[in-house]
Amino acid sequence: MASPNKLADRVVVEKAARRFTLYRGEETLATYTISLGFAPEGDKRREGDGKTPEGDYLIDYRNPNSAYHLSLHINYPSKADRAEAAARGEDPGGEIFIHGEPNGFSRLGALFRGRDWTAGCIAVTNEEMEEIWSLVPNGTPIEISP
């Protein structure tokens, strides 16, 4: 992990722009092009809808042994997300991560770039994921906007 004064204290995801930005205060640390869920427009409403959630969340834990090259968990669904889904009689889904490419497919990395292919997660290249992993500590707020 980078030194504490170089770590991100906020992540901003702009879905329409496919942009993922790390900030420390008002300083931009890094910006990445991202892939989203296979049906990216709109907020995640239920399990299996292929949408990436929108709203304010936290990076709450990391998984070095994920099925994708490293992953940082986003604490979706929030209480409000669960309540809204329950009111509709739906499961809000979960297991939303920031991650790299599927393990064993790094040679095909270019095929993943510029396509929305996840089940609702936010994906970057493996190299970018390693950098994000080192710059984003657990507890970092993440804002995901349309």
Please, are residues 37 and 118 in contact by the beta-carbon 8 Å criterion? yes
pLDDT in tens, the chain (146 residues): 666 679 999 999 999 999 999 999 999 999 999 999 999 999 999 999 999 999 999 999 999 999 999 999 999 999 999 999 999 999 999 999 999 998 876 665 566 677 898 999 999 999 999 999 999 999 999 999 99
Give every CB contact of residue 79 below 8 A, 6+ residues apart in sequence. none
Domain that holds residue 79: 35-141
Query: pTM for this structure?
Result: 0.91
| Confidence (pLDDT) at 115 | 86
User: Residue 51 is inside which H or E element, if any?
Assistant: none
CATH code, domain carrying 45: 2.40.440
Q: How many domains does the chain have?
A: 1
Does the residue 23 lie in any domain? no
Does the residue 84 lie in any domain? yes
